[in-house]
Structure 1
Amino acid sequence: MFAAASSFFARSNISQNYNVGGPTSIVGSRSGTPAQGSSSNPGALPTPANTPAFLVGPWKVQSASHKTTNKRVSVWTFDKKSSELEKMGPAGKERTLEVLKSEATSLSRLRHPCILEMVEPLEETRSELIFATEPLMSSLYLSIPNSNHRSPLVELDEVEIQKGILQLCKGLSFLHTSARLIHSNLSPESILITNAGDWKIGGLGLTIPLVRADGQPTRWEFPTFDGRVMPYIQRSFDYMAPEYALDESLNTASDLYSLGCLIYAVHCKGDPPFKTHGSLGGLRDAAGRPLTGISGLDRDLQSMLNAMITRNPTNRLTSSSLPSHSFFSSLPISTLNFLDRSNFAAKSREEKISFMKGLTSVLDRFSEGLRVRKILPSLLEEMKDSQLLPYILPNVFAISRVLSPTQFAASVLPSLKPLFAIKDPPQNMLTLLNNVKILQEKTEKAVFLEHVMPLIYNALESEHTVVQEQALRVVPDLCESIDYAEVQGVLFPRVALVFTKTKVLTVKVATLSTFLFMVKTLDQTVLTQKLVPLLSKIRTKEPAVMMATLLVQEAMGFKVERESVATAVLPQLWQMAMGPLLNVEQFHKFMSVIKKLGDRVEREHDQFLRDSQRLEDRSAVPVSGAVSNTVGGGVNFENLVGRGDGATVKQDTAINGSSKEWDEDDVWGSIFSSEETVSTPTISPPPVTQTASLPSTPVVSSNATLRPTIPGRNPLGAKPIPSSSLNSSAYNTSSLTTLNSAIPSLSPLQSSNSFSSSKSTSNYSAPNYNPNMAQPLSQSNRSNGTMQPSSIQFGSFSQPMQPTQHTQSTFMAPNYNVSLPQSNPISAFSSPPPQQTPPPFFNAGMGVLSPSKPPQPTWGSMANKPSNNDWGDLDPLG
């Protein structure tokens, strides 16, 4: 409980309201702590996460952020229980605490841009002293180039050193004239460098007022140096002016002497001009001696040091005259002075515009760190003036190239977000569009889509042509980086809207150029359904538009389907190729593309038809009732289902124990009642005599499909019956005569086929239902047992066919394509008995007049007579 209570009372307001702490490594000071920590990017903007803690004398400086506002600060902490303090006696402890408290109190009282700014006042607990200042990166002591105690926190170049010296001059001028104070302890360790790269004066614990509170001049105190006390709370004799120790005088010029020694140390690896070893005698010996080791420095710098490090204070440069020295007359320094907040605000708008135009050309003369830490923040502050934005933004983006995405998002992006929605002046949008690539590289994808893409959409809707053209130039790069859904659903429709609305030729061409790049990104469906119809509406004859369209159509013609190319792309290209304003070279380009796309359509469609035919041939199934003995591309079916030893399957036996192939009660068994040996008919193309109005009779092959040549449904609606061979003895001539007279309009669409049978004893042909056929088969075409059609003339329906035309052995055959299987024993035609009329139905499979019911056994010769219902399903009108 006591420990908890002690911990509670030991807590300060700063520790309660701030998240204190960065990297655990600590960079040492001249008090003896060695330099530690990892190297950081000199151009990086520090954050609480990447700024290590460092020491300034006994103070430990840590980065921190406010828990509510997230404001960044640096927290200074002194541990009262440190080992160094414990080694001191009571007087030493008291003196140390007095100086440290005085430093914090002076910072809280003094307010100047070049004086370290205090954010949270000093708090004292049982265990520590703590206060907070503006965020810091390092002290000058730890940042001197090439010094032995340097830590890689800040990289200083000559321009930044000059800029820092000028800031110290301003701070000293404030102390001397306004605050009426003498710093009296100016050294590299009392100069702090902020996150913005500014040099700030600290170490104010030993300041001497020129006048006391009662108005009397302050009395001089003899300087002493005690090795048992921390050097930080004592005046350094290496940087002390000789008149203070030797002449016992208090003069503001003493700080200029100390500043001269500081400038010397910065340029000479951290070593002061004279080493006194903390003794008054050493200071007395060094007074009046000329400076050594400056021969390698710049002449202006040598001149300035000789004018500052002198024995006589009246001969020294003052804080007001020092900035005008020739050492500070370089262009980079003049640029920084002009950009300084106190000077830049007083300039006219014309002067500011001229300055921003010229700044772009001199940025490369500044170090990366100086550009990031000093110039960039100043530019971001001036972005509040919208009239200056077109001239400030190029400089901002030039500096932002070296920033990491995290730094860009933290420092630059918040100032740019309000600009993405502003359309006027158009120069702002142009500058932002020119730097979209940087914005895309430095921002996360979600942030880019949310904040930067509205800039592109606003630019596409702009009234200014130059803005629209620039936005269209940016779109191709975006198509390759942003999500496809954003391109298809938002970006492409907006570009298409510009294409349809614009009446400016350059914008139209720029839009087509954008489409050319978008073809690579958009899928086939979007191109076919949206872009192809959009381009088909082009009616202009301008060669620039036509040639740009040609490029788009060429790229799209090899990506969309061939049907779209044939029906939409090629017709438009042909129409444009006939444009009257095209020259010969442009016409040839059109023809070249037309030939390429035409070849593609021909090649792919030819292959498509071949593939379709091949698939149809593979899937064809015989319909004649015969079953092939091979399956799966040549595998013998009998061997497949037989035993594994290669034995064959026996021939089919009689059905139902009958020795005949068909049962007597079966209707087809009654037709095929002949005991005659069945043989496969031989089919050969007979000679045909044709007229001009009738095509040649097709040859019927033995493996042809048993179906009419008329596609689709049966024209009369008749149902097919199972395929078989018919016995002509089943029907008589009178039945045929009755049917011919009852249905005079039925006719096959093609001429009859010819058949031959090696076992036929008489010649016959199938009935002809076409009354327009004038001539029956001639006797000359029926020689040698082969049926051949005679010359057929098509005429008008003026002479109906008479029953007398059908003789005992002659009748017309309907034109059906008949497939005659070779292996089925019932597929051959049986020879009709002599003196009998062949049946009126030759095609048993899919004839036009095929009844849905199988015919009953024999008319007239059988006991069962035909009834009225036998042909009840025949519908002549189908």
Structure 2
Amino acid sequence: MESMLNKLRSSMSSAATSAVSNAVQIASQVSNYLPGNPVTREFEATAHVASAGPGLVWKVYKGHKKSTKQDAAIFVFEKRILDRWDKQEREAMLDRLRKGVSQLTRLRHPQVLTVQHPLEESRDSLAFATEPVFASLANVLGNTDSAPTPLPPQLRDYKLYDVEIKYGLMQVSEGLAFLHNSVKIVHRNICPENIVLNHRGAWKLFGFDFCVANQSPADQQPFWPFEEYVPNRQAICQPTLDYLAPEYALTHTLDPAADLFSLGVVIHALFNSGRPVFQNHQDFVTFKRNCCELKNTNTLQLSNIPEGVREEVRLLLHATPQLRPDALQLSKISYFEDVGVKTLNYLDQMFQWDNMQKSQFYKSLPQIIPQLPHRVCVLRVVPSLMQECVNTTMVPFVLPVILLMSERASREEYVEHILPHLKPIMKMTDPPQIMLQLMQKMELLLGKTPPEDVRGDVLPLLYRALECDMQQIQELCLSVIPSCAALVESHAMKNALLPKIKKLCLATGYLSVRVNCLVSVGKILEHLDRWLVMDDIFPFLEQIPSRESPVIMAIIGIFKVAMTHKKLGISKEVLATRVLPFLFPLSIENSLTPTQHSSVMSLIKEMTEKVEAEHRIKLEQLNSIKDEQKALQMAMPTSLASGSTVSTASTATANGSVVSPAEAATDMFAGLGLNQFAGGGGSSASLKPAVSSSAPAPAGNKTQQPKTDVTSTTAPLSMQDKHRMMKEQGLQKQPPLLPSPPAPSSTITKNTQPSSSSSQTSNLTSSLITSNLSMIASPPGAQQQIGQMGGLGNTGLSYGMRPNLTQQPLGTMNSWATSPTQPQSWASPMPHQQPQSQPQPMSLNLGAFDNLLPSQPRPPSMNQMASNFKSAPMMAPLRPMTMIPAPAPVRPLTSSDINDLLS
């Protein structure tokens, strides 16, 4: 793995080094050949791409204008090439070059290379700027002298298509017709070196270094003076001998037909791998001999030339100038009557047509595009169409052709040649057909457009389409959004895309648009955060005003995706409180079909089962935690557990044949888990411990549930609880209120049985005091009220209140019973109730309990004890209670007091 990383690192570093070295090399070349040249003030050269001119002495560099960033080509001639020449020839050559550029600058024609900046001269170079140039025809045919090394990738193995050759030759013919007929100039050096292909592939005339202008007045026959070919002069200082007309050797005359002969040789070279008719090797004697052979053109080998232009080439190569067709005649031969040639020609002349003619041509263009070479479509057709986009009314006619060629183009070609022109079109909103056509091809745009351009240009187009009023555009946009949702950033999704979709869904009057909005939302759920779905999407679904069956099913689909997707999911709380209450009304809509209703109910059942299963698991976990806490508290020492646990015994079940109304009401709720709340006595095991009964079970009852300890609380003990427990333990160690045997039972525990008479006496004594207090101290109304507040029912005080009772002196309790005027504390009625009339205290005969008291030693009788209570002072405590502190002032029990007592 490490070796692979090292290889990758080395390859990347080498590539970076190569790129840097190439940039440095180009910069050094520019600095070498353009030091101080004024062209560098306005233009910047970036890469050497081609060569052109006589002998390919002009180096062509790709560049741009610094102020406008407009693409350009910079032609540079280095004077050091002429260092080996004598001064006279050197100056003559420089004059030729200056003359050629000057003449080129003055000419304005579509088939003549356009000059953007005139010639500038410095000590080391000549330079001027033109429209962007791809290469010269000589470079395309394989002559790469003075061309960059290595060749640029676009020039390497470059082959011309037939339509390019046809249209290029027609363009050169039209250019020559302009020179001969309008300007009255003979070029004199038509050859591949002086035909330049611009960046769109158009053929342009160049190299006017040896041109000759008409010397006759305007009203006379034109005359062009003849210039002799000087064999001893440098070859590049004279016209190229292989393409020169035979008049230079035979008749010593000059007319425009000489340029047509040169064009014939160019045509021969195009179909013969760049070879001219004769190769003279810069020897004028050989040139003369070959010119004599041209008198009989039947001996020429023209088999490689297409048949459609073969005879015209034979005439162009004739030794007699008068037999050669002129440039205008040549441009109108049938060879150029080609669909592709006409298409390219129409595109170049489009500015001359009106909108009706243009629209008809653009409608037929998609049928012609497949017949054209791909390179021609990208480099020739697309730029011509883009020029028409400045006229917005014609964009709907041009855009389908551009999108068609985008499909045929590679990703690199699309990004380089088409996308820069499409970006301004994406911002157009009028006419609406533009947006409609772009929506129909949105899949193509998303597939070939880089992600950064999608975010900057394509997504804003989608936002504008959502706000459009055309239904078709809205539906197309909604169908495209899921495919590009992954490219939408989270903040744009939340603040731009989703609000527009929701607004459209709520405001539209078209059912199909509303359904498409919901379907689009459902498809992009996987790209949203869970909280965004819960807080934004679900409330939006509840706001949808319509309840048609397609809308309902789309809503069901959204909920189903949200519930089943592993990234999202819906919690049981949301299902139970928000989703299910929303879905149940939808399930009874009359617009649903039986199949749709089954789908809705199936989802509701699935959600209900999920809520049930998850909540059951949670409850089982909570109950297991409670059981563990109970088991932990049961394992605590008895001394600590006695203050927090109370023994309880389950009530025996009824076996009689007669069922009371209370029992019948209890049976109604059987199986609902309410037995412990609806049991006898009205006490709840979950609210307070039940008082264990010391009375034996009825004879007829065969079964008795076991007694269990119930904890008072499972929460940690507070400081108040700890003080209370300590006080209770201290009171339990104090002597009993009444004389008792040596070891009385002070508490009732789970495993204690009333087996001895002493324990029976103690229990009966406790029950006696409790029953007396319930009958004497509490009037019937107050007793019922306390039972309602504390859950005591008809059984009197609960066991949990015993510690508070033991703190009160017994004399005080008797005083409550005998003196109705004394203030009552817990037995007094609540403030909001009217106190009922106090019943007269009943006389008690306690002699029946004397037989239950122990005989040795025999304590005073129960009646005597009661009389002693009556004769005792009001607040004087009994002798056994001398150690008990004085009671606190008596006050009514509050609700919190009762809760504390019950806990």
TM-score, length-scaled by structure 1: 0.71
Residue in structure 2 matched with residue 397 of structure 1 by the alignment: 403
Alignment of 1:665-680 (within 5 A): none
Residue in structure 2 matched with residue 378 of structure 1 by the alignment: 384
Question: Residue 320 of structure 1 aligns to a residue in which SS?
Answer: helix
1:266 aligns with 2:231: no
Question: Residue 63 of structure 2 aligns to a residue in which SS?
Answer: strand
1:236 aligns with 2:240: yes
| Partners of 2:661 and 2:519 in 1: CA distance | 60
Counterpart selection for 1:756 from 731, 752, 758:
752
CA RMSD of aligned residues (A): 4.5
Structure number with greater CO (CA < 8 Å, separation at least 6) is 1
Question: Residue 128 of structure 2 aligns to a residue in which SS?
Answer: strand
> 1:74: Cα distance to partner?
1.7
Question: Residues 688 and 263 (structure 1 numbering): CA distance in 2 closer, same or farther, change over 3 Å?
Answer: same
1:12 aligns with 2:12: no
> 1:288: Cα distance to partner?
2.7
Residue in structure 1 matched with residue 494 of structure 2 by the alignment: 488
Q: Could you list the runs of 5+ residues in structure 1 that have no partner in the other structure?
A: 1-5, 32-55, 629-660, 663-667, 673-679, 735-751, 778-796, 811-832, 838-857
- Does structure 2 retain, via aligned residues, the 8 Å contact 1:682–1:758? no
Question: Residues 607 and 167 (structure 1 numbering): CA distance in 2 closer, same or farther, change over 3 Å?
Answer: farther
1:161 aligns with 2:169: no
1:500 aligns with 2:506: yes
Residue in structure 1 matched with residue 485 of structure 2 by the alignment: 479
| Partners of 1:293 and 1:836 in 2: CA distance | 159
Question: Residue 193 of structure 1 aligns to a residue in which SS?
Answer: strand
1:868 aligns with 2:887: yes
> 1:203: Cα distance to partner?
1.3
| Partners of 2:417 and 2:848 in 1: CA distance | 109
CA displacement 1:554-600 (0-9 Å, x = unmatched): 21233232332333333444333333233332223223333333333
Residue in structure 2 matched with residue 387 of structure 1 by the alignment: 393
Moved more, 425-434 or 549-558: 549-558
Question: Residue 21 of structure 1 aligns to a residue in which SS?
Answer: strand
> 1:717: Cα distance to partner?
12
Counterpart selection for 2:316 from 304, 308, 313:
308
- Does structure 2 retain, via aligned residues, the 8 Å contact 1:238–1:274? yes
Aligned residues: 714
Residue in structure 1 matched with residue 133 of structure 2 by the alignment: 136
Question: Residue 249 of structure 2 aligns to a residue in which SS?
Answer: helix
Q: Greater helix percent: which structure?
A: 2
Counterpart selection for 1:530 from 530, 536, 543:
536
| Partners of 1:834 and 1:707 in 2: CA distance | 43
> 1:730: Cα distance to partner?
4.6
| Partners of 2:307 and 2:470 in 1: CA distance | 55
Alignment of 1:357-368 (within 5 A): 357-368=363-374
Question: Residue 243 of structure 2 aligns to a residue in which SS?
Answer: coil
> 1:114: Cα distance to partner?
0.9
> 1:199: Cα distance to partner?
1.0
CA displacement 1:397-454 (0-9 Å, x = unmatched): 3334576888767765565444444433211111222344454456565554444433
Moved more, 566-575 or 508-517: 566-575
- Does structure 2 retain, via aligned residues, the 8 Å contact 1:573–1:594? yes
| Partners of 1:180 and 1:807 in 2: CA distance | 155
| Partners of 2:593 and 2:878 in 1: CA distance | 85
Residue in structure 1 matched with residue 589 of structure 2 by the alignment: 579
> 1:476: Cα distance to partner?
1.2
- Does structure 2 retain, via aligned residues, the 8 Å contact 1:499–1:511? yes
Residue in structure 2 matched with residue 127 of structure 1 by the alignment: 124
Counterpart selection for 1:298 from 281, 306, 313:
306
Alignment of 1:699-738 (within 5 A): 704-707=710-713, 720-722=724-726, 727=732, 730=735, 732=737
Q: What one-letter code is carried by the residue in structure 2 that aligns with 1:867?
A: A
Counterpart selection for 2:95 from 95, 98, 119:
98
| Partners of 1:409 and 1:835 in 2: CA distance | 116
Residue in structure 2 matched with residue 70 of structure 1 by the alignment: 69
1:515 aligns with 2:515: no
Residue in structure 2 matched with residue 430 of structure 1 by the alignment: 436
Residue in structure 1 matched with residue 579 of structure 2 by the alignment: 569
Aligned-residue identity in percent: 25
Q: What one-letter code is carried by the residue in structure 2 that aligns with 1:705?
A: T
Question: Residues 458 and 728 (structure 1 numbering): CA distance in 2 closer, same or farther, change over 3 Å?
Answer: same
Residue in structure 1 matched with residue 867 of structure 2 by the alignment: none
> 1:177: Cα distance to partner?
0.7
Question: Residues 605 and 269 (structure 1 numbering): CA distance in 2 closer, same or farther, change over 3 Å?
Answer: farther
1:338 aligns with 2:303: no
| Partners of 2:629 and 2:722 in 1: CA distance | 26
Q: What one-letter code is carried by the residue in structure 2 that aligns with 1:104?
A: V
CA displacement 1:134-189 (0-9 Å, x = unmatched): 22111111113799999752542222222211211111111111110111111111
| Partners of 2:415 and 2:858 in 1: CA distance | 108
Question: Residues 774 and 289 (structure 1 numbering): CA distance in 2 closer, same or farther, change over 3 Å?
Answer: closer
> 1:606: Cα distance to partner?
2.7
CA displacement 1:75-106 (0-9 Å, x = unmatched): 22222222xx2333334323322221221111
> 1:507: Cα distance to partner?
0.8
- Does structure 1 retain, via aligned residues, the 8 Å contact 2:53–2:207? no
Question: Residues 233 and 776 (structure 1 numbering): CA distance in 2 closer, same or farther, change over 3 Å?
Answer: same
1:695 aligns with 2:679: yes
Residue in structure 1 matched with residue 820 of structure 2 by the alignment: none
- Does structure 2 retain, via aligned residues, the 8 Å contact 1:187–1:239? yes
Q: What one-letter code is carried by the residue in structure 2 that aligns with 1:77?
A: V
Question: Residue 241 of structure 2 aligns to a residue in which SS?
Answer: coil
1:553 aligns with 2:559: yes
TM-score, length-scaled by structure 2: 0.70
Question: Residues 27 and 428 (structure 1 numbering): CA distance in 2 closer, same or farther, change over 3 Å?
Answer: closer
Question: Residues 801 and 264 (structure 1 numbering): CA distance in 2 closer, same or farther, change over 3 Å?
Answer: farther
- Does structure 2 retain, via aligned residues, the 8 Å contact 1:79–1:128? yes
| Partners of 2:229 and 2:171 in 1: CA distance | 28
Q: Could you list the runs of 5+ residues in structure 2 that have no partner in the other structure?
A: 1-30, 663-677, 686-704, 740-747, 775-782, 788-792, 798-835, 850-856, 862-876, 898-903
Residue in structure 2 matched with residue 453 of structure 1 by the alignment: 459
| Partners of 1:834 and 1:18 in 2: CA distance | 133
| Partners of 1:398 and 1:207 in 2: CA distance | 44
- Does structure 1 retain, via aligned residues, the 8 Å contact 2:51–2:135? no
Residue in structure 2 matched with residue 738 of structure 1 by the alignment: none
Q: What one-letter code is carried by the residue in structure 1 that aligns with 2:44?
A: N
| Partners of 1:627 and 1:188 in 2: CA distance | 114
| Partners of 2:844 and 2:374 in 1: CA distance | 114
| Partners of 2:845 and 2:198 in 1: CA distance | 122
Residue in structure 2 matched with residue 48 of structure 1 by the alignment: none
| Partners of 1:272 and 1:536 in 2: CA distance | 82
- Does structure 2 retain, via aligned residues, the 8 Å contact 1:180–1:211? no
Residue in structure 2 matched with residue 118 of structure 1 by the alignment: 115
Moved more, 687-696 or 420-429: 687-696
Q: What one-letter code is carried by the residue in structure 2 that aligns with 1:75?
A: I
1:609 aligns with 2:619: yes
Alignment of 1:645-660 (within 5 A): none
| Partners of 2:252 and 2:599 in 1: CA distance | 96
> 1:377: Cα distance to partner?
1.0
Question: Residues 872 and 392 (structure 1 numbering): CA distance in 2 closer, same or farther, change over 3 Å?
Answer: same
